């Protein structure tokens, strides 16, 4: 976006409203640290996959030994060596001041053997009610100054079939959703109490779960990071800073199957002083705060952001089991396109109820342009906890009254105006005198995801072959997402099936649902369908 626009906006904010304190550090582009040990690749990967013969040749021990041997302020470099271009590892633990440096054209793959990640015997790679059975691929615990850098890639192999199973990590995540349980799968990077952790230029892809989780840190920087997982890969958040302060996420490209960025503030403490700037988001669940907000989230600035093709755009989510105060949040210079919910502020994130009311206030939206129609939700919890938001230069192309839902909200329209006109129960809208809708139109801000970083391994949802057990059945139902079939949701079609058997035809399209079958007594009277893995 033009530099002049930032300058004018900065003056307005300091004169017309309190200046927000974001990351209080002076953040500059990181530098690659000197190499302490350089390890050569001994495995060759073709088209993002490792040959089965190499699966037992783990590099975990030699990488960890190098990490343990180096002095703070240096790096362990992984780089190609002749025909070798890949490393294969189980869990690694970074130490104070040590950077893992993955060189260009080199990939660090995660093992697909659940036993390598067990926190207790047999705990990883299963679905249960616990969900804490796997170590992360890379961890940093009380390791200040550590980091992961380089122009290479780290691949969690979420879509690769697990050793000893007929399922992938992503299959386990989907099964957990169907069973209302928890998947035990690893994350790529998890830090805890590791101040000043840095991610720089690295590509992270195909994580079995969150790509990056940062807990209880004072100082975290992600600069020029690329994150890539399929949109159907459940719980594959991009970067989640949790109960941390002084956080900067800058110049990153993120597409994934859940929140692109999710700021969390749970019982471990508040999330404060964060800057999320100059980023591009693609598929995912958007720029989120929550759902854990009971620790309090504040002093957050999101600016110069494009969101292209995500399910949600600017999102604050919580509920009364984990609600708290979210305030002093600024969104500015944001371009949104092909997003179902461009603005979603929701204190009813789930049906759970508890004693912790979400309270969203002092939320500012400046120069936000929504290029395509979508739903806008502006909800406060109740009259005692109303949403308080300022909209200044918020323009939604093709917005209709039915696209805007609001309740328990106090809304101020700034001098830049807005064509979004909220109304509803306990909603009041006031305008600064002289307000005029002056939409900022986005053009060249939308850019493609960097092609060199892309590389999905496997499918997030495996293909299946549906076989009709009762070949003579006369009942056929058709599912189509455009309304041309007998049913729209697949689940509704399954629940309609007679006990005598049926054939379900599913037309091409996108189906966003979890499908399960709990047969009724009449359906138990005869066999219906069997779904088998390919």
Q: Please list the active-site residues.
A: 258, 285
Compute CA distances 86 → 34, 81, 101, 457, whole Å: 22, 9, 13, 15
Assigned token pair, 524: 């138990």
Greatest CA span in the chain, whole angstroms? 76
Say which residues have a Cβ less than 8 Å from residue 214's Cβ, sequence separation at least 6. Answer: 191, 197, 220, 239, 240, 241, 242, 244, 247
Assigned token pair, 280: 């591009």
Task: Determine the Cα–Cα distance for residues 200 and 178; give it in Å rounded to an integer.
Answer: 37
CA-wise closest residue to 196 among 218, 179, 227, 223: 218
Task: Determine the Cα–Cα distance for residues 485 and 84; give it in Å rounded to an integer.
Answer: 51
Helix-, strand-, coil-residue percentages of the chain, each rounded to 5: 10, 40, 50
CA angle 266, 267, 269 (to 5 degrees): 80
Burial of 131 (0-12, 13-18, 19+ CB in 10 A): middle
CB 286 within 8 A of CB 307: yes
C-alpha 370: how far from chain center: 21
Assigned token pair, 6: 């930032």
Measured on CA atoms in the order 293, 295, 296, 299, is the torsion positive or negative?
A: negative
DSSP string, 192-209: ES-TTEEEES-EEE--SS
């Amino acid at each position: 976006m033009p530099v002049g626009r930032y300058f004018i906006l900065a003056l307005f904010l300091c004169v017309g409203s309190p200046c927000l304190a974001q990351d209080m550090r002076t953040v500059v582009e990181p530098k690659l640290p000197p190499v302490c040990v350089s390890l050569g690749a001994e495995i060759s990967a073709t088209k993002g996959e490792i040959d089965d013969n190499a699966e037992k040749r783990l590099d975990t021990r030699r990488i960890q030994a190098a990490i343990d041997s180096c002095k703070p302020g240096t790096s362990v470099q992984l780089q190609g060596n002749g025909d070798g271009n890949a490393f294969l590892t189980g869990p690694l633990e970074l130490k104070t001041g040590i950077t893992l440096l993955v060189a260009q054209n080199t990939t660090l793959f995660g093992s697909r053997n659940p036993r390598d990640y067990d926190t207790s015997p047999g705990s990883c790679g299963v679905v249960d009610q616990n969900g804490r059975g796997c170590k992360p691929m890379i961890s940093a615990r009380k390791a200040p100054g550590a980091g992961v850098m380089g122009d290479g890639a780290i691949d969690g192999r979420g879509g690769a079939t697990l050793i000893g199973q007929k399922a992938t990590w992503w299959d386990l995540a989907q099964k957990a959703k169907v069973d209302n349980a928890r998947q035990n799968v690893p994350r790529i990077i998890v830090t805890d109490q590791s101040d000043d952790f840095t991610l720089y230029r690295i590509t992270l892809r195909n994580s079995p779960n969150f790509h990056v989780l940062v807990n209880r840190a004072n100082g975290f920087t992600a600069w020029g990071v690329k994150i890539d997982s399929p949109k159907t890969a459940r719980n594959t958040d991009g970067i989640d800073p949790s109960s941390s302060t002084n956080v900067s996420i800058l110049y990153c490209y993120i597409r994934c199957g859940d929140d692109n960025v999710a700021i969390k503030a749970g019982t471990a403490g508040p999330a404060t002083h964060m800057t999320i700037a100059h980023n591009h988001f693609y598929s995912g669940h958007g720029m989120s705060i929550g759902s854990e907000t009971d620790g309090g989230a504040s002093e957050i600035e999101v600016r110069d952001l494009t969101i292209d093709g995500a399910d949600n755009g600017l999102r604050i989510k919580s509920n009364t089991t984990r609600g708290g105060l979210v305030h002093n949040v600024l969104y500015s210079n944001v371009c949104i396109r092909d997003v179902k919910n461009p603005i979603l502020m929701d204190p009813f994130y789930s049906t759970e109820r508890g004693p912790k009311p979400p309270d969203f206030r002092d939320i500012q939206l400046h120069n936000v342009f929504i290029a395509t129609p979508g739903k806008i939700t502006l909800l406060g919890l109740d009259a005692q906890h109303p949403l308080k938001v300022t909209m200044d230069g918020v323009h939604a192309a093709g917005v209709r009254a039915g696209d805007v839902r609001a309740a328990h909200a106090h809304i101020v329209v700034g001098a830049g105006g807005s064509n979004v006109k909220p109304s509803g129960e306990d909603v009041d809208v006031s305008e600064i005198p002289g307000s005029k809708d002056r939409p900022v139109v986005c053009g060249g801000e939308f850019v493609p995801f960097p092609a060199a970083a892309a590389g999905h391994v496997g499918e997030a949802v495996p293909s299946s072959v549906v076989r009709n057990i009762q070949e003579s059945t006369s009942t056929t139902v058709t599912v189509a997402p455009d309304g041309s079939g007998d049913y729209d949701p697949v689940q509704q079609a399954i629940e309609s099936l007679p006990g005598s058997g049926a054939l379900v035809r599913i037309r091409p399209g996108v189906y966003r649902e979890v499908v399960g079958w709990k047969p009724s007594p009449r359906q138990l009277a005869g066999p219906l369908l069997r779904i088998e893995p390919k």
